[in-house]
Structure 1
């Protein structure tokens, strides 16, 4: 009996020890409700000059950031200033379990109206617009749009950072202190775009693939216009007279009037980029160091590698100057001629170095001044003074200029088989 009692006691003790070695239960992993709020750190990825909104380019506690966990969105704000800041909220998400992992994404919209919710709590913006005047008021700040791609963060993660990337492009223009611009007062204006050739808005799709930090843009149907850039403090270099900056919807401005510099003397000079010198990408800064010559612009482009403030690649270029008579408003070779006797730009551009380009411009089949429909009946192929030209150009109708337009079809076919095109001013017959 004594031995049996001892054996039973030993067995009970062993059972107690075995029970003490079981795995931690789910209830042991659960955290008290409302005790462990989710906080994050936020930095703008790879920048030496960070976000656009503040004078010194850093986050402030007045910035409102949308943070999404699953299908729920809450507003966070930096609890301190700087680039690498802590994000906290008055109504935060909470950790519920020690082994919990959440997928987090976030975005920042420069429009100050988002402070009360607005587009932030409605989800990632599906469209975005930049302000046409970024020099007055908050236009520059309101054009800013940042996105932090989805990231898995666990309760035990030591890295709870959210890396934000600019979804617009940034254009910086440095006017050098040289040649025709040695005094800031001689500069009347600096404008990005010309005659509403710059896209100011577009449809936006956030990235979904791993390690992709910028979304895609559809700029078809976007609002067109120009941008007055923000006049900011010069870079500090003695050879820089003025510095301007603007946030721009990603687009390619190749072969278009991209930057216009107007002087007080009434002259305006344009920079028309070639190749990829103005193929503007999300999250990338493009710097144009411009020397205003007497009659044209000399431009040195500085492209950053991937992110604002990243590695730089420098290229010297000289702006092309259009010859007189080859702007959008001039009648020129390639323009469209309509059944109402009017014409429109066909996209042909010729420069002072005799090079040329043909822009992809379609006929305008509705008269913009009257709204009336019309038909494109011909293409301009010759423009000039007929005085001294072949007299055949002046036959039949002395008050009508002949030979300017070639018909898109046979106007008439006489019995002799020759094709005859007879034009009258203001129409055709």
Structure 2
């Protein structure tokens, strides 16, 4: 019996303890509302209502119940999703404990698309009134009734007809709402009319990045009118909300201060910041032929105006890019100058012969020899543009010409000044139902490496294999005589300009070989070379300098035109080289582009 009484008592105290814990965990709700109070829907449209409980932790106290005043007009799910059923009005109520929030739902056949006011800003003197006009579109919308409200009725009130009355100096926003769409007008109430506004300066000269303070005086005093600062050219001079003007670029701008419908102006002339000094680092370098080095120009002060101009006094020895990169051309000395605003600095460049006996820029002759200086007793056929072992990346070249381990030579003329990658390509697409000639080669000529370097083969884009590509496309030409590819022009050029027997003979270069010709070595993805490398085509300029020394030779283009590479990128595109900037890109096979041949030796 005692044991039973003890158990009952223990259970009683446990119940009291647990009840107390539950009461302590319950969080008091201080607020409950919906994110929308008015919704306009067309039949079958839906709108999600969100209930906001304050504090948010109180949401654990229970569940929200939803109810529609007229389910024939609009229904609401347990999650607050409202669905329009038929034209009419309904009230969606959400309840949470003792709290209730409502949203008015209008179901229409033609919804309001926009509400526009005839004014978006309005300045009124205390006691003054003005009526705003609201336009609802479309005109045949079901709910075109305008509801007018003021964000601060102590500053400005608005009637049901849109008449705004200034109550007290300050700012308020008048809203016009129809069908859930709202337009607003910013209203400024001032104590009395502004008679005049003037500035402490009317004509100022400053330099770039300099600031000065404009001060506006409004008469009569005590109007309470706010000053608005604007500029006629933000890129020349700006003015902040306090009238602080900043010179941003050379030129002229007008700063305007406006208050209560009155305005005053100040003409601001921003003058350039002249460079005071310039230096080059390093100021003396020694390079081997074909080598490059970046020079750095330092100008004081740092906010100077103008552009540093780089020049070489002997481009036969060394050339310099617009960004200050120097490339050695031939033995000798040259002076590189960086100039700006009438001041300059120089760097002495000494070019010495490389240790290999073969250098980029050497003249290549019909007998298979080369020299740094042009030999008038021999017939030049090209210029060396890169020194390496071409057979290391081109298995087809290694098989056919294993001794071509010295480098690459560019031809003296274009093979074609304008040709598509393939003639009659559209007819080829229609005949084959795919147009994928690279796939045909892979299936019918497995002795060659694939010429497709598209997305799936992008890692092969940096491999120089123009000889392989040319031989593969020549095989294609033999089998599809009605659809000749661009390598036919390499065959024509071989007849007009025979190559030495110890060379590969002329072929159409791959994207990598074109990149070596125009910008030199680039270790990254060739497709990542973009306009940010503008000015890096100094390698092209060095080769052009050599070509210019050969009678009748055509220099590489430097304008915005493109050369074909011998690699494709899936149907229907192939790779190209932009002559102006030296980047690899893609073009449609039907485009007419130039072809320039190279050879390996």
Same fold (TM over 0.5): no
> Higher RCO, 1 or 2 (CA under 8 Å, sep at least 6)?
1
Identify the structure with the greater strand proportion. 2
The structure whose residues are more often helix, as a share, is 2
